[in-house]
């Protein structure tokens, strides 16, 4: 009885391997069959697998193999079976008896048992393959995912060829816009179609994977990098939207790191390419950039800021400085702007070094509320000490406009410190998109209803325009420094433009303040143009709480001759 035989046990145990792949199993079958060939008078054992071609890299030809052949020859009539595996491959078996033997029914039943055993092991292995493939494939685009990408790189590393490759970490330029304006369904179609085009681009020993969202990472041979960059600089994608088909030109931005320029470790190389992309997005308008050490240092510094931020907040390392705004008629303080500084390990870090980083990470909102709390605390101290506080403006990042509870959150802080809302002003910059503009408009109106002033910061730069201001009921417009830098130059166009802007703003019933005024000449011209509130180094740099409190308490009069 075959089931009890030593040979059968050996055959079975050879194939009994946990989580084996089909490919590994095919390699084991010949040695397993060896154990039972003699006992069952097997002269020849053939197997042909017809691959369905569904798999990621399995569009191979049909695999045909002779698993066993007796050197003394075999009869030419075959016992055959054809069975399917779960991934729709088909395994065809053909067994021939040794020369001079005809199998009886019992022997045929035993042979069928062997075939069914092999088949069930194949089923298990192909399920493993399917499972592995799912784990290594991106569900939306069918491109390989991070898991497969890493495995692929490791395989190249084992073959000792990885150093000839470059990692390109790319992010689509206008994808957020597409998602917002055309909807996520169109966004998904774009990603699918884009991936399809990328798939056609890479060669046999290369790979492009989707790393989530609109991030794509390519591992290409060094000599193909430029061609790829050129290709992804503009990829035309056709998408159906409603009853029309539109073509979208998709371009990407990329951070590039050759494996040879990195530590040689693939995880580091991917990280460096990603850091280069991060750096590129913040500091450059170009579409791609190669990794270098200084990028790494800057990115590392930014990461330190991000990871240390919460501790710094808890340790109260952020200080609020106050820069006076001066009334030109009285030469006294008419208000001030709260500007944050970071006191870290004995030195003062200016906001230009950390505000953009925190803004990028969405952490700035916590800092703004921290500043608002300190400001309210300080206002309360001034009032308690009998000092009349001048209105303090607090910078709020436009990221706050996503917060549906913003007004309530601000009111909660003000109420906590029992601050009179008229002592506060919120400074915001304008936004590009119409949604953000609507949110800003609503915020301004809600603040006005609660007697809190709002101002538009950096006016004259970025997106600000007079036509937008017509519907925005802010109290104050802050003219940006860049606008007044050249007003003293004879015949300067800025001066003519500024004059008309000031007339329009005051005509619309808003107050105006110029910031970044450094010379008495600039102040004189501003005054001539009816801009009576000025903030700038001409009067004071941002001052510590103590210094500012002193000037506020003494009713400081600035001794600046601007006549
Ligand atoms: P900002 O809101 O435009 O602030 C004005 C900046 O111009 C301040 O720089 C101020 O010190 C500087 N400044 C004022 N007068 C003059 C001048 O006469 N000449 C020159 N060259 N500069 C002048 P600071 O304090 O370094 O702040 C830089 C930026 O950081 C601010 O620009 C603001 O965008 C941001 N920031 C500062 N504090 C906060 C905050 O609490 N929250 C948020 N979200 N952003 C903040
Ligand atoms: Ca400001
Ligand atoms: Ca400003």
> What is the distance between the alpha carbons of residues 538 and 531, in angstroms, rounded to a whole number?
15
Verify whether ligand 1 is closer than 6 Å to residue 456 (CB atom).
Answer: no
Q: According to the model, what pLDDT value does residue 58 have? A: 45
> What is the distance between the alpha carbons of residues 26 and 187, in angstroms, rounded to a whole number?
42
> What is the distance between the alpha carbons of residues 454 and 494, in angstroms, rounded to a whole number?
25
> What is the distance between the alpha carbons of residues 215 and 146, in angstroms, rounded to a whole number?
11
Query: Is the confidence at residue 241, as pLDDT, over 80?
Result: no
Ligand 1, atom nearest to 351 Cα? 30
Shortest-distance Cα residue to atom 43 of ligand 1 = 395
Verify whether ligand 1 is closer than 6 Å to residue 540 (CB atom).
Answer: no
> What is the distance between the alpha carbons of residues 169 and 276, in angstroms, rounded to a whole number?
9
Residue 345 alpha carbon to ligand 2 centre in Å: 26
Verify whether ligand 1 is closer than 6 Å to residue 542 (CB atom).
Answer: yes
> Measuring CA to CA, which residue among 114, 141, 137, 49 is closest to residue 87?
49
Residue bearing tokens 């950096």: 458
Mean pLDDT of the chain: 91
Verify whether ligand 1 is closer than 6 Å to residue 537 (CB atom).
Answer: yes
Q: According to the model, what pLDDT value does residue 55 have? A: 46
Which ligand sits closest to the CA of 366?
1
Least confident window among 10-14, 19-23, 143-147, 455-459: 19-23
Determine what percent of the chain is predicted with pLDDT higher than 90: 67
**Which residue out of 351, 364, 487 has the highest number of ligand 1 atoms within 8 Å of its CB and is therefore the one to mutate?**
351
Q: According to the model, what pLDDT value does residue 56 have? A: 43
pLDDT higher at 255 or 68: 255
φ, ψ for residue 508, nearest 5 deg: -85, 5
Determine what percent of the chain is predicted with pLDDT higher than 70: 95
Domains by residue range for the chain, with CATH: 6-136 (3.30.450), 146-291 (3.30.70.270), 302-551 (3.20.20.450)
Contact 436, 428 (CB under 8 A): no
Burial code of 84-122, b = ≥16 C-beta within 10 A, e = fewer?
ebebebebebebbbbeeeebeeebeebbeebbebbbebb
Ligand 1, atom nearest to 350 Cα? 26
Residue 457 alpha carbon to ligand 2 centre in Å: 5
**pLDDT one-digit tens code per residue, 533-555:** 999 999 999 999 999 999 999 99
Burial of 489 (0-12, 13-18, 19+ CB in 10 A): exposed
The arithmetic mean of pLDDT across residues 178-199, rounded, is 91
> What is the distance between the alpha carbons of residues 549 and 483, in angstroms, rounded to a whole number?
30
Alpha helical stretches, state H, 104-171: 105-136, 146-158
**Which residue out of 339, 410, 413, 425 has the highest number of ligand 1 atoms within 8 Å of its CB and is therefore the one to mutate?**
339
Q: Collect all residues with Cβ–Cβ distance below 8 Å to 370 and sequence separation of at least 6.
A: 313, 318
Shortest-distance Cα residue to atom 11 of ligand 1 = 542
Burial of 227 (0-12, 13-18, 19+ CB in 10 A): exposed
pLDDT higher at 381 or 53: 381
Contact 525, 488 (CB under 8 A): yes
> What is the distance between the alpha carbons of residues 372 and 53, in angstroms, rounded to a whole number?
62
> What is the distance between the alpha carbons of residues 124 and 147, in angstroms, rounded to a whole number?
22
Token duo for residue 398: 């436009």
Shortest-distance Cα residue to atom 17 of ligand 1 = 516
The arithmetic mean of pLDDT across residues 398-406, rounded, is 93
DSSP-derived secondary structure letter, 131: H
* DSSP labels, 206-223: -EEEE-STTEEEEEEEGG
**pLDDT one-digit tens code per residue, 255-304:** 999 999 988 889 989 999 999 998 898 888 899 999 998 988 888 888 89
> What is the distance between the alpha carbons of residues 544 and 66, in angstroms, rounded to a whole number?
86
> Within 13 Å and on the Cβ side, how many CA atoms surround 179?
10
Verify whether ligand 1 is closer than 6 Å to residue 326 (CB atom).
Answer: no
């Amino acid at each position: 009885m075959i089931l009890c035989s030593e040979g059968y046990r050996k055959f079975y145990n050879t194939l009994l391997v946990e989580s084996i792949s089909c490919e590994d199993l095919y390699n084991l079958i010949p040695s397993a069959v060896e154990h039972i060939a003699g006992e069952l008078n097997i002269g020849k054992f053939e197997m042909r697998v017809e691959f369905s071609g569904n798999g990621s890299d399995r569009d191979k030809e049909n695999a045909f193999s002779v698993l066993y052949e007796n050197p003394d020859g075999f009869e030419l009539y075959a016992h055959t079976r054809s069975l399917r595996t779960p991934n729709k491959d088909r395994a065809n078996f053909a067994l021939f008896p040794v020369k001079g033997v005809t199998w009886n029914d019992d022997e045929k039943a035993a042979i069928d048992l062997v075939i069914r055993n092999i088949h069930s092991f194949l089923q298990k292995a192909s399920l493993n393959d399917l499972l592995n493939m799912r784990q290594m494939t991106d569900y939306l685009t069918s491109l390989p995912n991070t898991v497969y990408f890493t495995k692929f790189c490791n395989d190249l590393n084992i073959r000792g060829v990885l150093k000839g490759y470059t990692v390109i970490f790319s992010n689509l330029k206008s994808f957020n816009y597409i998602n917002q304006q055309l909807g996520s369904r169109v966004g998904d179609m774009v990603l699918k179609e884009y991936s399809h085009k990328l798939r056609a681009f890479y060669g046999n020993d290369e790979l492009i994977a989707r790393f989530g969202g609109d991030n794509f990472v390519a591992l290409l041979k060094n000599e193909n990098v430029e061609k790829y960059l050129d290709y992804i600089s503009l990829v035309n994608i056709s998408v159906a939207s409603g009853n029309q088909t539109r073509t979208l030109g998709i371009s990407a931005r990329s951070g590039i790191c050759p494996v040879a320029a990195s530590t040689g470790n693939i995880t580091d190389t991917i990280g460096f390419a990603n850091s280069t992309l991060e750096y590129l997005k913040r500091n450059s308008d170009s579409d791609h950039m190669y990794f270098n050490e200084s990028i790494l240092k800057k990115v590392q510094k930014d990461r330190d800021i991000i990871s240390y931020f919460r501790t710094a907040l808890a340790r109260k390392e952020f200080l609020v400085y106050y820069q006076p705004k001066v009334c030109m008629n009285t030469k006294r303080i008419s208000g001030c702007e709260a500007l944050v500084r970071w006191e870290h390990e004995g030195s003062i870090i200016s906001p230009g070094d950390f505000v953009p980083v925190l803004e990028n990470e969405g952490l700035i909102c916590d800092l703004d509320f921290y500043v608002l709390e300190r400001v309210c605390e300080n206002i309360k101290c001034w009032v308690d000490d009998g000092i009349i506080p001048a209105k303090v403006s607090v910078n709020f990042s436009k990221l706050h406009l996503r917060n549906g509870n913003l007004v309530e959150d601000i009111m909660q802080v003000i109420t906590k410190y029992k601050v009179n809302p008229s002592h506060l002003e919120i400074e915001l910059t304008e936004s590009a998109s119409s949604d953000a503009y609507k949110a800003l408009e609503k915020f301004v109106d809600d603040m006005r209803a609660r007697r809190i002033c709002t101002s538009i910061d950096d006016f004259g730069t970025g997106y600000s325009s007079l036509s937008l201001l017509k519907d925005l009921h802010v109290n104050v417009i802050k003219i940006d420094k860049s606008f007044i830098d050249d007003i003293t130059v004879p015949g300067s166009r800025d001066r003519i433009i500024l004059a008309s802007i000031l007339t329009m703003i005051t005509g619309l019933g808003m107050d105006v303040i110029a910031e970044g005024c450094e010379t008495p000449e600039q102040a004189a011209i501003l005054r001539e143009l009816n801009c009576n509130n000025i903030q700038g180094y001409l009067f004071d740099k941002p001052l510590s709480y103590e210094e500012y409190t002193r000037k506020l308490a003494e009713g400081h009069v600035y001794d600046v001759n601007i006549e």
